[in-house]
């Protein structure tokens, strides 16, 4: 038996919107730790890892570890039927081939349940070791989204370079080139608007902008984004989900042949 | 010419 009650139901709606274009089908894993997902896109270039810790739920009952295969497009269709202020409860019985999403309006005057069919998915779980990164950039998530969107109108790839000068995002395309440099900026009053660059050594890596733009669909989940870079490692783009966990996107770099 | 690396060349299946 599984019953997870999330008062801030809009978080789950936002999570789905940020992953459904990257991954079609995925297993949601439920354990004492929390509600999690790890899935790769079909070309094995990008991976999403989600964790919503059990403590973040108002009620969290998971009698035994359960993996539920869901079509994310269908799940998104159902969650779109929940109001932004609704409380969402996820329910499943052991051995059942369905999951139920229950939506309660804040005033309890409307209660809806949507039952969705589960599916068997051959999951390819990857072991992601802890790594030391050459550089970690934290910046406003909206600023990062804006940069990715702007650069994708010029080129297909972005070179992210971190030096002691700052972090540079560069692209080139048929019509020309673009470079955007963000310098460390901790002087602003609001910490979520600051840009913080931790650099152990300079690093420069190339990534497909198509994926970066897809990751930025998680922007509504967090004011800040953290970009961790190391040469010859996938970049990690992380959005912290307040008091609950995170959504992390891993993207393999492009290399010169 | 640039080549897209796969995640599978960095991480192992568990």
- Interval B3-14 mean pLDDT: 92
Q: What is the mean pLDDT of residues A161-175?
A: 96
Decide if B7 and A256 are in contact by the 8 Å CB cutoff. Answer: no
ipTM over 0.95: yes
Q: What average pLDDT does this structure show over A192-217?
A: 96
Residue A94 is predicted with a pLDDT of 86
Q: Average of pLDDT values for A201-224?
A: 97
Determine, for residues A45 and B8 on separate chains, whether the beta-carbon distance falls below 8 Å: no
As a whole number, mean pLDDT of residues A176-202 equals 91
Size of interface A-B (CB pairs under 8 A): 57
Task: Return the pLDDT at A124.
Answer: 79
**Average pLDDT for residues A20-41, to the nearest whole number?**
96
pLDDT for residue A10: 96
Chain-chain contact of B1 with A233 (C-beta, under 8 angstroms): no
pLDDT score, position A70: 97
Confidence check: pLDDT of A193 > 90: no
Query: What's the rounded Cα separation, in Å, for the pair A54 and A33?
Result: 6
3-state secondary structure at position B7? helix
Interface residue of A125, A237, A250, A252 to substitute, partner B, most B CBs within 10 Å: A252
Distance CA A129, CA A250 (A): 12
Q: Is the pLDDT of residue A188 over 80?
A: no
The pLDDT assigned to A189 comes to 80
Which tens digit of pLDDT belongs to each residue from A94-138?
889 999 999 999 999 999 999 999 999 987 789 999 999 999 999
Q: What is the pLDDT of residues A231-240, one digit of tens each?
A: 989 999 999 9
Question: Does residue A86 carry a pLDDT above 90?
Answer: yes
Q: By the 8 A CB rule, do A254 and A208 touch?
A: yes
Chain B interface with A: residues with Cβ < 8 Å: 1-14
In this structure, what token pair is assigned to residue A184? 């460390």
Cβ contact A254–B3 (<8 Å): yes
Q: What is the pLDDT of residue A162?
A: 98
Contact: B6, A45; criterion CB under 8 Å: yes
Tell me, what's the pLDDT at B1?
Answer: 81
pLDDT of residue A191: 80
Q: For residue A130, what is the nearest residue in chain B, using CA coordinates?
A: B11
**pLDDT value, residue A123:** 77
Chain B positions touching A43 (Cβ under 8 A) are 4, 6
Beta-carbon separation of B5 and A253 below 8 A: yes
Name the residue facing A250 among B1, B7, B13 (closest C-beta). B7
Long-range CB contacts (within 8 A, 24+) of A89-93: A89/A3, A89/A4, A89/A5, A89/A6, A89/A59, A90/A2, A90/A3, A90/A4, A90/A6, A90/A35, A91/A2, A91/A3, A91/A4, A92/A1, A92/A2, A92/A66, A92/A68, A92/A118, A93/A1, A93/A2
Joined tokens for residue A43 = 């070309």
Q: How confident is the model at residue A245 (pLDDT cuts 50, 70, 90)?
A: very high
């Amino acid at each position: 038996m599984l019953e997870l009650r999330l008062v801030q139901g809009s978080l789950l709606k936002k999570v789905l919107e940020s992953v459904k274009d990257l991954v079609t089908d995925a297993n949601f894993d439920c354990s004492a730790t929390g509600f999690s997902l790890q899935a790769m896109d079909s070309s094995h270039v990008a991976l999403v890892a989600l964790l919503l810790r059990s403590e973040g739920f108002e009620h969290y009952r998971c009698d035994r570890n359960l993996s539920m295969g869901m079509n994310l497009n269908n799940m998104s269709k159902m969650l779109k039927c929940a109001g932004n202020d609704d409380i969402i409860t996820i329910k499943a019985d052991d051995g059942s081939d369905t999951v139920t999403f229950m939506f309660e309006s804040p005033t309890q005057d409307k209660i809806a349940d949507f039952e969705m069919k589960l599916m068997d998915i051959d999951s390819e779980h990857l072991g992601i070791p802890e790594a030391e990164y050459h550089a970690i950039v934290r910046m406003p998530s909206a600023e990062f989204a804006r940069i990715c969107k702007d650069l994708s109108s010029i080129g297909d790839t972005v070179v992210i370079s971190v030096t002691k000068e700052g972090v540079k995002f560069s692209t080139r395309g048929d019509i020309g080139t673009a470079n955007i440099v963000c310098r460390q900026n901790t002087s602003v009053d609001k910490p979520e608007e600051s840009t913080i660059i931790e650099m152990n050594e300079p690093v420069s890596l190339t990534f497909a902008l198509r994926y970066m733009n897809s990751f930025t669909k998680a922007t509504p989940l967090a004011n800040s984004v953290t970009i961790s870079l190391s040469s010859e490692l996938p970049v990690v783009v992380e959005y912290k989900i307040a008091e609950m966990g995170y959504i992390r996107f891993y993207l393999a770099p492009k290399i010169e042949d | 010419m640039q080549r897209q690396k796969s995640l599978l060349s960095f991480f192992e299946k568990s």
